[in-house]
Amino acid sequence: MWLSEQQFYLISKLKEMASELGRVPMASDFKAKFPNVNPTVLFGSYDGFLRAAGLFEADEDEIIPKPREPKILVLDIELKPIVAYVWGLFDQNLGLDQIIEDWSVMAWAAKWIGNDTVMYQDVSDQDDYSNDELIICQIWDLINEADVLLTQNGMRFDIKKLNTRFEKYKLGKPRPFRHIDTLKIKKKHFGLTSNKLAYSTDFFNEKHKKLDHGKFPGMKLWIECLNRNPEAWKEMKEYNIYDVLSLEELYLNSLRHWDDTINYGVYTQEKGCCPNCGSTDLKEDAYNYSKTAANKTYRCQKCGTICASKINDIHQNTRKTFLK
């Protein structure tokens, strides 16, 4: 592949960073060191940049997946609201020429399931709150590492907003991931009075519940953050972090055994394990019958999931006698 002088220069800097860090630099690492440089313009995406530098190739023994726990990322984002000129308070239909400032991401919190650390970043130390490029690069790095993304209403809201920012900064698509959306699980299986995170965590959770606003109720929290109030930013951090903690507890303790988005065995390669939590402590249960099959079921003693064997215990010769 022919490379320009500028591309050679960026590749040399990336390799220097890799040598200094002792690992492959993430997009946020490069952005933090070279804030005015966007390698995706020259290489198409950050992964393309890594490939050009020879830092993306997998070792031969890494081509075959090794048994491991799935990397499940719990994520919540907070947006900076749109600022616009309006004529009234009710039923306003805004035109694009009325927008003063468009939305952007102002904060995010995330946590790996199985790790107690909650990560958080915001734009509070920046001069321009609309410039979310650095924190977007940080989110992209995390999602690019994840096998599974866990959100509340993330399929409809969070991931579409993030994809918009990823493309704005030419980061490209993150690697494929499974997406568990707790809102969809609740709508499919339950009849809660409200499917909002506040109601469902108050209803189901014992330890972490979505926080009520403290000193800055409702929209006032966002307004005071935009007014550079440090107390408001402190409350925003606590609010965002508790969203992640309460969402994780809601999924693990109440919703996981109702969901079938992932199969732990694919990652751990453990034979006969629970598809939702990976436990091998399964108790044999009744048969599950379909029109042509009888599959033995098992109940996980750790998370409560009911799973079924893929083996049809009705003999093939008997199945041939069934009438439609």
Domain boundaries, the chain: 5-62, 72-258, 277-319
Confidence of residue 277 (pLDDT cuts 50, 70, 90): very high
CA distances from 48 to 27, 56, 242 (A): 12, 8, 36
Would you say residue 97 has pLDDT above 90?
yes
Q: How far apart are CA 121 and CA 77, in angstroms?
A: 10
* Phi, psi of 300, rounded to the nearest 5 degrees: -70, 130
Q: Which residue has the tokens 């108790």?
A: 283
For residue range 197-234, list pLDDT tens digits in order. Answer: 999 999 999 999 998 878 999 999 999 999 999 999 99
For residue range 111-159, list pLDDT tens digits in order. Answer: 999 999 999 999 999 999 999 999 999 999 999 999 999 999 999 999 9
What pTM was estimated for this model as a whole? 0.83
Query: Which alpha helices (DSSP H) does the chain contain, by range?
Result: 5-21, 27-33, 40-43, 46-52, 133-145, 159-168, 182-189, 197-204, 219-226, 230-250, 264-268, 316-319
CATH classification code of 72-258 = 3.30.420.10
The pLDDT assigned to 57 comes to 56
Would you say residue 25 has pLDDT above 60?
yes
**What region does 321 belong to: left with phi over 0, alpha with psi -120 to 50, or beta?**
alpha
